A and B are shown apart, each in its own frame.
Chain A
Amino acid sequence: MSYEPKIVGFLCNWCSYTGADLAGTSRVHYAPNIRIIRVMCSARIDPTFVLKALREGADGVLICGCHPGDCHYSEGNYKMMRRYPLLKKMLTDFGIEPARVRLEWVSASEGQRFAEVVNDMTQRVRELGPSPIQQTLAQDMAER
């Protein structure tokens, strides 16, 4: 069987999670690799959530929030936006391809766009192959 990546999605409750629901009500099909976790705002997404997901076996992490200027909490998405480059840098330091983590803005009315984002993300992660973390973890276990 071909390699199917596991992707964890952290979606803000007001825009992106609603947008993902809209993809459902509009029956817009997309790749099934994503597992969605709801948070109230993208600002709630602690970098440790992303690291935890990668450690637990995710090959990619998708973060979605409201478009800049449209945040339900006025500016939460800006906070995520500022946190994101630092997170990428940290991943590079850890030896994880930064492309495994992605930040996208999806509004409540963008069901179609959400599907496109998921499909594109799934395709990119599939091209990257399995996350190197699992291998490192296995080695660590063996060395101990």
Chain B
Amino acid sequence: MEEQRIGVYVCQCGTNIAKVVNCEEVVRALSEQPGVVVAKTYKYMCSNPGQEMIIADIQEHGLDRIVVAACSPRMHEPTFRKAIQTAGLNPYFVEMANIREQCSWVHDDPQVATDKARALTFGALHRVAKHEPLERMSVEMCPDVLVIGGGVCGMTAALELADGGNHVYLVEREGTLGGNVARVDLTAPYLDSARDLITALVTRVEEHKRIDVLVHSQVSSLEGFVGNFTATVETIWGDGASVSQFRVGNVVVATGYKEFDASRVVHYGYGKLPNVITSFEFEKMLRAGRIQTKEGKIPQYVAIIHCVGSRSKEFHTYCSRVCCMTALKYAHEVKSAIPNCYVSDVYIDMHAFGKGHEDFYKRGSEAKTLFLMYAKNDHPVIRKAGPGDDCEMLIEVNEKLSGEQIEIPADLVILMVGMEAREDSDAVARLVNISRDKDGWFIESHPKLDPVATTTDGIYIAGVCAAPKDIPDTVAQARAAAGRILAKTIRGSIEIDAVFAEIDEDKCSGCRVCNALCPYSAITYDASKKKSTVISAVCKACGACVAACPSGAIKARHFTDSQIFAQIEGVLT
């Protein structure tokens, strides 16, 4: 075998790596290794000058393998693959050593971190020597899209896609479109009618010739891979049910949320005290146009309690993001309906981060809403008032801004229930093969740089199913997901990763252990040849079959035994 010519590039990432890892020392150690022709360190390897430096070195020194010791390969592997491809190398001839996320950011002793960075880079060096050239495949991209969920998010995505010329299947579990926003009266902070907003969307969706709306329906299975999914949808009609199947290239998951069950917070007495209601029950009251107690009286004191189920150790630690402005909207609506009513707003913090929110908060103050602050995990307690009191209930709070233990009179208490992942989010995640975080929200590909894509190609998430957000953010995400899909489908085909399993027919004994093991049924058995074969487009490269094959006949491309062995040797030298 011809001797390899390897280039090693150690990134300083500004000071992110260099402030802990002695990059010069890593370069020095690597440059002494056999096969290493060039070893360099640079401030930002991913920058244009950084990439150009690598490209120039490849051409000048005739390098055929590249090691980049920098950030996580999840971040910049595509960047460097593209760079070396530009220089004429096979894109799989680069290997990254993760010396930022898994070294400089988690260790502070410079000597220890430098040693570890050197070991990780050795691992990459040994591995890259074993890399093989791989070719990517191009497959047809079906332009049709499946949108799961018919709320504001799903409808917006569907319209954007259909307007762009793609056919959309919009699947909604309920009998009508609209989702949770259809249960709301006005929206904050501009007090537009939610009904108008929903009606406009529903009308357009239903009239659109490229949107098939399937209500009372659920996706029961999704098979295939990006560009070539097959979706099976079950629709229930009265007492009958029907099943439809169609091909789609991409999927938008817009399944939204459910509201927190207020009865779980025992000290609020929800379900026991008749005039303690949830925000959605109050919306119903507002939509009916009459604010009153269960006894039909006009309340003199209304209290609003924030963060019910949100921002607490017991229930959910996250903020549900829309409740603060909704609470201010209630204060506004109560005051305009009953001018002599006193509104108390009991909060932990007022989160008024969005456009127009701070002004809306000030309007709430000007209208003499009494804002009272309670501490996280030191909840208010609601009890029935005595016969001598001029109110129905009393809310006891350890009020933080005054430092006083107080009680607030109330005739009607509105609990601002937070958002929660739907109970079937787990099933949905499995259906479309994406992951959920600790709270049950779907995980995006990258929280900052790629918020609507997921780790599964062709599956996009938008709206609250990814995390609580308000209507503008939801709409933005819906359109972002639609935009991503449109940009991909416009090319008509898609390149898929060259990383998949392949079976060496000479070694295969035809035992069929792998056939049953494959979660995607990507391995078929040729009875005449008594051999198994992998359908490469369906294979997702997990490597389960590789590790299980008793004959060692299956190779995981780019994750071969010899590559991993080499890396083990490298990190342990």
**Interface of A toward B, CB cutoff 8 Å:** 6, 8, 13-15, 17-18, 20-21, 23-25, 27-30, 32, 35-41, 43-46, 48-49, 52-53, 56-58, 66, 69-70, 72-76, 79, 83, 107-110, 115
Contacts and interface: CB of A to CB of B under 8 A. Distances in A.
Given A24-B101, A32-B109, A73 B542 contact: yes
Contacts of B529: none
B489 interface: no
A44 B106 contact: no
A29 B72 CA distance: 16
A70 B101 contact: no
Contacts of B430: 69, 74
Contacts of B103: 32
B433 interface: yes
Contacts of A45: 547
B123 interface: yes
B543 interface: yes
Interface in B101-135: 101-103, 105-109, 112-113, 115-116, 119-120, 123
9 contacts: A20-B101, A27-B105, A32-B106, A36-B102, A40-B542, A43-B547, A46-B561, A52-B568, A72-B456
Interface in B428-455: 429-430, 433, 435-438, 443, 455
Contacts of A6: 572
A53 B119 CA distance: 14
Given A32-B112, A73-B540, A109-B438, A37 B105 contact: no
**Ranked 8 nearest A-B pairs via Cβ:** A44-B543, A24-B101, A43-B544, A35-B571, A73-B542, A41-B542, A24-B105, A21-B101
A18 B547 contact: no
Interface residues of B, number: 53
A72 B544 contact: no
Interface centre among A6, A27, A76 (most CB of B within 10 A): A76
Contacts of B455: 14, 72
Given A14-B435, A109-B438, A29 B108 contact: yes
Given A15-B435, A44-B546, 10 more contacts: A8-B571, A21-B98, A24-B100, A43-B544, A44-B542, A44-B543, A44-B559, A49-B564, A53-B568, A70-B436
Contacts of A73: 519-520, 540, 542, 544
Nearest to A46: B547
B355 interface: no
Given A21-B72, A37-B568, A109 B543 contact: no
Contacts of B101: 20-21, 23-25
Contact of B105 (A15, A17, A25): A25
A57 B542 CA distance: 27
Contacts of A39: 543, 559, 564
Interface string B517-556: 1011000000000000000000011111011100000001
Nearest to B547: A46
B488 to A, nearest CB: 21
B134 to A, nearest CB: 14
A48 B550 CA distance: 12
A104 B395 CA distance: 46
A41 B572 contact: no
A29 B74 contact: no
B73 interface: yes
B546 A58 contact: no
A29 B73 contact: no
